[in-house]
């Protein structure tokens, strides 16, 4: 099994990576980072993997787990909320992790009422337990 982390380039992603690493160490399993890109063009994919790898190594160092085994899974999705959440959920369905760790940001009550969110879609539709890490700000 594994622990999966849905990664995005936001401040909550660092916290999600750190908590995902802690969960993987606690469960004595691997960490798989799922990152959605618009397309899986080889050059763009390699650039994304390099940037994500740096973020993962930084997160592992922050929680003193530099030797934890990890992998990056790039999945193709779009810009729409349903496309991104669908791509993450499809990857999670293939990976079948013990838990999925996601980051969340604060939204206003109006934003909650009228706009969907990737986190909300994942929480409602995931077939595995979801651990939500919220940014303190």
More confident residue, 28 or 52: 28
Per-residue confidence (pLDDT) for residue 78, from 0 to 100: 72
More confident residue, 4 or 114: 4
0.85 exceeded by the pTM?
yes
Report the run of H or E that residue 103 belongs to, with start and end: strand 99-104
- Is 71's pLDDT higher than 90? yes
SS3 131: strand
Order of strands across the sheet with 70-76?
70-76, 30-37, 2-7, 99-104, 130-134
Sorting pLDDT into bands at 50, 70 and 90, what band is 11? Answer: low
Distances in Å between the alpha carbon of 101 and those of 42, 76, 115?
Answer: 27, 19, 22
List pLDDT tens digits, range 73-120: 988 877 776 788 999 999 999 999 999 999 887 776 666 655 568 888
Six-digit token pair at 106? 């604060």
Six-digit token pair at 54? 């740096």
Distances in Å between the alpha carbon of 118 and those of 59, 106, 114?
Answer: 22, 13, 14
Domains recognised in the chain with CATH numbers: 2-134 (3.40.50.620)
Per-residue confidence (pLDDT) for residue 94, from 0 to 100: 95
């Amino acid at each position: 099994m594994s622990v999966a982390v849905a990664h995005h380039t936001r401040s909550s992603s660092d916290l999600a990576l750190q908590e995902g690493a802690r969960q993987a160490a606690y469960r004595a399993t691997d960490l798989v980072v799922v990152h959605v890109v618009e397309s899986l063009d080889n050059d763009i994919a390699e650039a994304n993997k390099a940037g994500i790898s740096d973020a993962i190594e930084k997160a592992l160092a922050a929680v003193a787990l530099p030797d934890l085994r990890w992998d990056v899974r790039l999945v193709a999705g779009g810009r729409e909320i349903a496309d991104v959440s669908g791509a993450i959920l499809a990857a999670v369905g293939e990976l079948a992790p013990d838990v999925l760790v996601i980051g969340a940001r604060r939204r206003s009550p109006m934003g909650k009422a009228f706009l969907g969110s990737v986190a909300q879609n994942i929480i409602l539709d995931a077939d595995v337990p979801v651990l939500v890490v919220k940014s303190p700000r």
